[in-house]
Amino acid sequence: MALTFYFHPLSSYCHKVLLALYENETPFAARIVDLGDADERARYRELSPMLKIPALTDEAAGRTVIETSIIIEYLDRHHPGPRPLFPREEAQALEARLWDRLFDAYVMTPMAKIVADRLRGEGERDPRGVAEAKATLGQAYDMIERQLAGRTWAIGEAFTVADCAAAPALFYAATLVPFETTHPNLAAYFERLLARPSNQRVLAEARPWFRYYPYREALPARFLGEVEA
């Protein structure tokens, strides 16, 4: 198979690219990366020197692509499907790129900081940093709430790369700083994202791994299934 996607089932950044792949039913081979295994870690470093997941290899083109937004744009250009995730119109494309970056920078990044802090030993934790990250999430929610007024998806009526970034970022962020009762536009948007078939597939495949999520107790039962609830 021409495309191989290297990922981890719990990773929000990996979910972002999986959404793009599933939106366009792009054929690919999936390879779970175990960075805890020394040999696999060494092999994967050849694909991604900073050991960041995910990565995509295109055997036919002899290329490895890293960084989620770049992977999705590469797919849009070289393995296009029926749903372009980067709009063809210039102003809309710029808006999609902007909101992709905003979701990554101000939802995904502070969310990841909070989760990573829980994995540290007691003497290594950073309560001030966690408080700042939670404040950033609150500010981001306010910004997104305004953006979503009158819109179905992040930039309008078309599902784009921005929504691929939003879905996993908000899924995990909601377990840390809930928005269901405080931001009605955001909450309604989140439900639309959850109803998207591509996202339902991503979450269904991740479900067996949710037991390892550091904030598992905050995951609503509807995401855990009968075995995990």
Question: What's the pLDDT tens digit per position in 37-51?
Answer: 999 999 999 999 999
Q: Over 50: is that where the pLDDT of 227 sits?
A: no
| Spatial separation of the C-alpha atoms in residues 141 and 172, rounded to whole Å | 13
| Spatial separation of the C-alpha atoms in residues 42 and 20, rounded to whole Å | 28
Kindly indicate whether the domain formed by 90-218 is annotated with CATH number 3.40.50.300.
Answer: no
> Phi-psi bin for 54: left (phi > 0), alpha (psi -120 to 50), beta?
beta
CA distances from 105 to 61, 102, 116 (A): 30, 5, 16
Q: How confident is the model at residue 229 (pLDDT cuts 50, 70, 90)?
A: very low
Amino acid letter, residue 175:
T
> How high is the pLDDT of residue 109?
98
Using one digit for the tens of pLDDT, what is the confidence trace for 125-171? Answer: 999 999 999 999 999 999 999 999 999 999 999 999 999 999 999 99
H-helix or E-strand spanning residue 17: helix 12-23
> How high is the pLDDT of residue 225?
73
Provide φ and ψ at 53, rounded to 5°.
-105, 150
pTM to 2 decimal places: 0.95
Per DSSP (E only), the strands in 44-104 are 55-58, 63-66
User: Could you tell me the residue ranges of all domains in the chain?
Assistant: 3-78, 90-218
Looking at the chain, the number of H-run helices and the number of E-run strands are 10, 4
Q: CATH code for 3-78?
A: 3.40.30.10
- Confirm whether 3-78 and 90-218 share one CATH topology: no
